């Protein structure tokens, strides 16, 4: 058996150090490039947002509604994953993306609570929807994004689905943009179509502003439930929704006729 000796081991260690250094350097450079590209995208989107504001002092404003909260946990997976927590986490990520683009954000909730007041859980639940609807119909809001999770009897069902309100034509367009972004960035095999809200979806049916409800996935599907419970996937989901909303903003026509409301509220086909 050959004796490498101290000199041989030193050469071997030097080669190993160079390899480690080169790998670390490569990872660092790639990371810096990714950060620069992300900041450039945000800068361009911020310019588009400023242009679409029509030069007015009023910035674009979005309402984000993390569904459920407090005593109302929403859907629960077999493993105990609670919907309200996922809704809030995705919504807070979405809030960050919008604000980095210069968009004002109104959160219906930023912690674990119901909006409705009352001395009993029943009273709080009864008063919750009207409080949310006040924010949905805020004169400052250009559109509304509600975040929820789905649940079904079959554990095979999976994938995000987008519902839209019937009152404003912008709702369907916003839904299509978000659906397209979800397919392109996160769920390429998702064949679920956007769906007009039925009468059972109170908030969408009573919202005067463009509004959508995004069911991000199925907690009844064990694999998808585990994905939805990770911060990395929550962040990816939020970014996909954000990119779709930004496409909607970019495609919207400037409404010069009504200075009280900005461009997103009146959209016409040509």
For residue 104, what is the domain's CATH number?
3.40.630.40
257 in any annotated domain = no
266 in any annotated domain = no
Q: Which domain holds residue 202?
A: 59-251
CA 115 to chain centre: 21
User: How far is 233 from 236, CA to CA, in rounded Å?
Assistant: 5
Q: Which residue has the higher pLDDT, 145 or 7?
A: 145
Closest by CA position to 75, among listed 184, 15, 152, 175: 152
**Number of domains composing the chain:** 2
Closest by CA position to 220, among listed 157, 140, 130, 269: 157
74 in any annotated domain = yes
226-241 tens-digit pLDDT: 999 999 999 999 999 9
Percent of the chain with pLDDT over 90: 70
Tokens 């006729």, located at residue: 257
Q: Answer yes or no: do 36 and 134 share one domain.
A: no
Q: How confident is the model at residue 59 (pLDDT cuts 50, 70, 90)?
A: confident
Q: Answer yes or no: do 64 and 5 share one domain.
A: no
Q: Answer yes or no: do 32 and 112 share one domain.
A: no
Q: Answer yes or no: do 38 and 107 share one domain.
A: no
Closest by CA position to 103, among listed 65, 135, 148, 64: 64
Q: Answer yes or no: do 145 and 38 share one domain.
A: no
pTM: 0.76
């Amino acid at each position: 058996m050959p004796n490498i000796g101290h000199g041989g081991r030193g050469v071997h260690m030097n080669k190993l150090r160079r390899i480690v250094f080169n790998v670390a350097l490569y990872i660092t450079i790639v990371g810096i490039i990714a950060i620069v590209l992300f900041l450039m995208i945000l800068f361009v989107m911020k310019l588009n947002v400023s242009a679409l504001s029509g030069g007015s002092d009023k910035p674009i404003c979005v309402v984000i509604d993390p569904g459920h909260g407090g005593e109302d946990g929403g859907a629960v997976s077999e493993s105990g994953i609670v919907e309200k927590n996922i809704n809030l986490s995705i919504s807070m990520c979405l809030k960050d993306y919008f604000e980095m683009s210069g968009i004002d954000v109104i959160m219906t909730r930023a912690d674990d609570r119901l909006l409705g007041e009352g001395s009993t859980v029943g009273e709080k639940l009864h008063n919750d929807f009207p409080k949310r609807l006040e924010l949905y119909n805020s004169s400052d809001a250009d559109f509304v994004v509600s975040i929820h999770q789905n649940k079904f009897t079959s554990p095979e069902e999976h994938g995000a689905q987008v519902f839209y309100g019937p009152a404003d034509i912008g709702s369907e367009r916003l839904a299509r943009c978000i659906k397209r972004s979800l397919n392109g960035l996160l769920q390429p095999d998702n064949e679920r179509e956007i769906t007009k809200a039925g009468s059972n979806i109170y908030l969408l049916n009573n919202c005067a502003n463009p509004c959508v409800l995004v069911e991000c996935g199925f907690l009844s599907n064990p694999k998808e439930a585990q994905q939805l419970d990770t911060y990395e996937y929550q962040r990816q989901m939020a970014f996909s929704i954000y990119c779709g909303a930004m496409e909607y903003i970019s495609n919207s026509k400037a409404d010069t006729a009504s200075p009280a409301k900005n461009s997103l509220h009146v959209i016409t086909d040509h």
